[in-house]
Structure formats: C-alpha cells, structure tokens
Chain A
Amino acid sequence: MTRFFLSAVVGVAVGLLIGLFLGWQISPVEYRNSPIKALSEAYKDEYTRLVAGGYLADGDLSGAVERLRVLGVPNIPQYVQDMAERYISNSRDLKDIRYLVALSEGLGRLTPLMENFRQYSRPPQTTPTPQGTPNA
C-alpha cells in the first residue's frame, strides 16, 4: 500500500508539471472577448495613431478623446504626449510622429521636443467660433 501511495504522489507531481506546461505554454487560454485596453502595446499604439489620423480628418477633438477613453488610460492628454515623445525618441515613422504631434497639440500638449515635427496645422474645429473663450 505504501508503494502504491508513493507512486501516486510521484505521479501527481509529474502530472501537475505536465499539466501546467500544457496549460501555460503549449495550449494556453486564448481570450475571445477582450476589451480594447487588453491589446498588446503595439496595437494600442496603432489604435492611438489611427485616432490621431481621424482627428486630422475631422478636427473633432472631443470625438478623439472619446475614442481614446476606451484604452482606460487615466490621463489622455498625458498619454498622447508621452506616446508622441516616445515615437520621436525612438525615431519611429515620421508620418506617425506628425499625426501624434498634431493630436497632442490639439490636446494642449505641444512640448519643445515636438516643435520640429509640427507639419499638420491644427484642423478646424467642428464647432463655431466662440464668443467666450475656454481657457483650457
């Protein structure tokens, strides 16, 4: 009986290792209904770049902020600024940098590092000229 139990214990241990290896490495859980905030960093960057392109297309700053909100970042202007500066520092695609700089500028975050990458003028806003002025 002792021999049986010892063998079972050894079997459980080996089996656990095999099971964990299968479950974590060979055939891990693949999620099918993930939120956009779970995207890999590369795709989060791409999504943000797409939103920046959309902002240049329609000049809708509120819409752009709304679209970025789904990423779950706590401070969207800061997030865009960080990403634009990271793209500049990493010498990423020049066109992408200019898109992000334009969006960052629209969000009031034009830093000295971005100055040389301003190409697209701030798109016209979709709202009429105010009689008062937001100080943001």
Chain B
Amino acid sequence: MRDLPPPRPTSMPEAPAFPRDSRYRQPRRWVSWWGLLLGLVIGVGGGLFYAWNLAPVVETDTLPRQLNDDSKRSYTVAIALDYRFTSDLNMAIQRLSELYPDRDPIQEMAVVACDLARSGYIDNSSGLRAVQTLKTFYQLQGRTGCADTLIPDAQVGPLEVTVVVPTATHTPPPPPSKTPTPFVQPSDTPAGVVIVPTTRPRRAYEGRIVDTYCDTELTGMIEVFVQDYNGQGIAGEPIRVRWEGGQSDFISGLKTERGAAYADFQMTAGIGYVVEMPGFSDPLPNSLVADSCFTESGAQAIKSFRVVFTPTG
C-alpha cells in the first residue's frame, strides 16, 4: 500500500506577515515630529528675521540714551544752556545721566565741548557761546577737557572781529639834544578798521537779488524769501542784515500771511546793507543801498529789494 500524504489540515494557522513588535504594526500618529520640529525652526527663524529686519518695531519712543552722537551733543548743549538760566545742578545732572547712563555725565559734557570746539560748530557766535557754557559747567564741577585750551575764556564776538583803531595818533618830534638833529615833521597815523575773519562758515544756502522795485507803500524794504529745492518756503531760518555800525537778526516765517519763506526788513535811506543767512550762506556779493527812486506816477520813494535764498548744490 502506497503511503499517502498526510491529509491537509482544514484550516492553516494564520501566520503573521510581520513580527508583532514591528513599527509598521503600530497605529500611525497624525503628526510627524520631525516635520513639526523642522517647521518650528524655519518658522521661528523667519519670524525673527521679519520682526527684526523687514518690519522692525517702529521707532517712536526713543530715549535720550539711544540717540546718536550728534543728537546727544545737541541735547547736552540744551541742558547746559538751561542750567545757565535755572542754576538747578541736580536736574541738569539727572538729565545728563539719562543721556549717558553708564558714564560720568559731567566728563561726557567735557568730551562734547571738545568735539564741538574742534568742529565748525563754533564758527558762529551762538555755537561759541554754547561751548563756553558747556566749558563753564564742567569746569565748575572739576572736570577738564580739550576745550579748555581750544576755546578762550573771554566772550568772543561774532564771525568777524573788528579791531578799530580809534583815533589818529600824533607823534611829537623828539626832544632837543645837544647834537643838532634834522627837524622831524609830526606824522599822523590814519584811523582804520582791520577785519580779521575767522573760519569760513558752512554754506547751505546761496542768496541772490531777484528783483528791485519802487513803491511808495513798500518803500525801502528788503523782502527775503528762504526756499527749498522745490521753491517751497522754509520757516524759522535765520537771516542777518548788517550795515556800517550795526546788524539785525530775524527769522523767516513770522509773517504767516506772507508764507513760510518770507521775512522783511525796513531800510533807512542812504545806508548800504549786507544780507546773509548767518552760518549758512555767504553774504550777498553786492550791498543793498537804500537809494531814492521814483515810481511810474512820479512819486519819490526808496528803492526796495527782493532777495531769495535757496539751498546750494
């Protein structure tokens, strides 16, 4: 009898396709931790880049200590000038400490005075007086700086130092001596004016006479207009008119009905005037002489001028 193969079982035991502990057998999580981590890194980096570089917080509440050097100098000058009027030392030092929180505030004032004394800031009398005020402040507190030697103690005048030799001097002949000497005529030294210019100022504007007119209502006027590149008026600009023996400072924009650019000055007949923006322009090359003139109707008046200052460059 032939051996028959064993009968097939009616049901085969189910063999697992993978081992029971295989990760493919575990239920899938809804999140990929690696993907989430990568996204977070990219997101935080991108967010910081956007917040710090592309759209940083708008700068509206700056503190004095965050100012740049130029602005800190301006603030320091204002503190010193205010102290000169109020004599409130505690308040002045408190304000300086807000500017220079991690340094000696009074010594910083000496440093500022030194910087300004080395710059064009002292080219005009306002700047010079301000630096002298700084100097007085820190010297009274026992500090020193380079301005001590750069800036004289005495009040120094404006841009031009005018030395007037007051009267002609008379040189008498020498007294008689035993030795006969030739007769010497007395000589006169002529009176004179010596003008010693200081450093040339900054020139942000240049001025020119654009018109002259003769009008009985606006007689002897210098009308000054300060304009920007686009011809728009600029208010608050300093203007100086000088004449022999005097000068007057005023600013543009005070007559609002005439616009921000406008300022004017009433001349006196027969006198020549020089117009400039102190510290910002050279004087006009020609003086403005208040000569007599006649209107079209034949009335007599004093010649008037229109002067325009515009930025250079």
Q: Do B251 and A61 have beta carbons less than 8 Å apart?
A: yes
> Could you say which residues of chain B place their CB within 8 Å of the CB of A38?
59-60, 62
> Could you say which residues of chain B place their CB within 8 Å of the CB of A76?
235-236, 253
Q: Do B82 and A11 have beta carbons less than 8 Å apart?
A: no
B189 within 8 A of A: no
B285 within 8 A of A: no
Bound complex: CA A120 to CA B290 (Å): 37
Q: Could you list 19 examples of A-B contacts with CB < 8 Å?
A: A7-B34, A10-B31, A19-B44, A31-B59, A34-B59, A35-B67, A35-B68, A36-B67, A39-B62, A50-B95, A58-B81, A63-B130, A67-B77, A126-B125, A128-B247, A131-B245, A132-B243, A134-B250, A136-B251
Q: Do A50 and B81 have beta carbons less than 8 Å apart?
A: yes
Given that A54-B85, A127-B249, A136-B250 are known contacts, is A17 also in contact with B47, CB under 8 Å in the complex? Answer: yes
Q: What is the 8 Å Cβ interface bit string for chain A, positions 9-38, against chain B (1 contact, 0 not)? A: 111111111111111100011111111101
Number of interface residues of A (CB under 8 A): 74
> Could you say which residues of chain B place their CB within 8 Å of the CB of A22?
44, 47-48, 51
Q: Do A57 and B84 have beta carbons less than 8 Å apart?
A: yes
> Could you say which residues of chain B place their CB within 8 Å of the CB of A28?
51, 56-57
User: What residue in chain A is nearest B278 (Cβ atoms)?
Assistant: A62
B179-187, B263-271, B291-299 - the one binding chain A: B263-271
> Could you say which residues of chain A place their CB within 8 Å of the CB of B43?
11-19
A83 within 8 A of B: no
Q: Do B246 and A128 have beta carbons less than 8 Å apart?
A: yes
> Could you say which residues of chain A place their CB within 8 Å of the CB of B250?
134, 136
Q: Do A19 and B45 have beta carbons less than 8 Å apart?
A: yes
